[in-house]
Every structure is written in structure tokens, then in C-alpha cells.
Copies of this chain bind each other. A is one copy, B any other.
């Protein structure tokens, strides 16, 4: 892993799927929709030099994701050459998609997103993506979620929608 300076650094692939993190405002429609992903911009502002590649897998509100969407996402991840995968995803069904990704093989997969759109001047997007980038580099293979300032195993977390935060499953 990257903690060993002499090992080659495996690239991080970031799959974007939509969700609040990428919501933007279209004046001509007077409404918010999911726009082009802001992940590229966030990684530039974060001055990231660790090798990465961004792939748009989907562009949906996570409440609209279908079982077929999740299967495609699973297949996409399984076929990636790298062992380190970050997935940006809407928060409402993030844990559901994470469950489908379990057992995809010897990979470290980290889901993250935002409770507030990244285009807002006050958004949790950059912090959450930073957590995901660190986790994907140093956590053992498995599926994780980085939200609410915390690294969770994906099978031990749920979103508390009223409170607007991710909490441990008890």
C-alpha cells in the first residue's frame, strides 16, 4: 500500500453515479438536477497528485437507482484492473448499493457522497471525498462508507434521514 514508499502505487478509480454531491441548478427549468460531476474539480482543489481516473458510471438520484443499475455498477467494479475504488453516490440508498458490492473480490471499495451539493460554498463534499481517498489507500479489502466524519464498514451503518447523518448500526 502507499504507506510503503517502495511499492508501486495502484491508481484510484473514482466511479461517479450522481446524487446530491453533483446537484446543480438549471435556471431555465427553475429546478435542481444532477449535473456534470464535480469530482474532477474537487480533486484539483484538493491538490491531489496520487494517480486517479474518473469514470461516470451513472447520473441519477440514488432513489431512482434500479437493481439493474446496481448490477451494472457491480460488474463495472469487478472488471476494473485496480484494487482501489471510490464511488460517489446519493446518500439515500448508499448502504443498499454498498451491500450489492460486497464480495466483489479483493478490492477496497469506498462509498462517499454529500448531504449538501458540492456546488454550495458550504458542503461536506470535499471533506467526505478526502476521507474516501485516505480510506481507499490504507483500509484492507472490503466495502466502506465515509460520511459524517467517520469511516464505517458498509454493513454496519445506516442513514438517519431525519437527523441528516450516518450512524452505526446497533
Q: Which residues of A contact B (CB under 8 A)?
A: 2-5, 20, 23, 25, 27-28, 30-32, 42-43, 45-50, 52, 61, 63, 91-92, 115-117, 119-124, 126-135, 137-139, 144, 146-153, 156-157, 161-162, 164-170
CB within 8 Å for A2 and B151 given contacts A23-B25, A129-B127: yes
Are A151 and B25 interface neighbours, CB within 8 A? Answer: no
What is the chain B residue whose CB lies nearest that of A26?
B164
Whole-angstrom distance between the Cβ of A76 and the nearest chain B Cβ: 23
Q: Residue A30 contacts which of B20, B134, B135, B147 (CB distance < 8 angstroms)?
A: B20
Give the chain B neighbours of A157 by CB distance below 8 A: 5
Give the chain B neighbours of A151 by CB distance below 8 A: 2-3, 134, 137-138
Are B25 and A116 interface neighbours, CB within 8 A? Answer: yes
**23 pairs, CB–CB < 8 Å, chain A vs chain B:** A2-B152, A3-B139, A3-B144, A5-B152, A5-B157, A5-B170, A25-B32, A25-B120, A45-B127, A46-B127, A47-B147, A47-B148, A47-B149, A48-B149, A126-B126, A127-B133, A129-B130, A130-B134, A130-B146, A132-B134, A135-B138, A137-B151, A138-B139
Give the chain B neighbours of A2 by CB distance below 8 A: 150-152
Interface of A is mostly: mixed
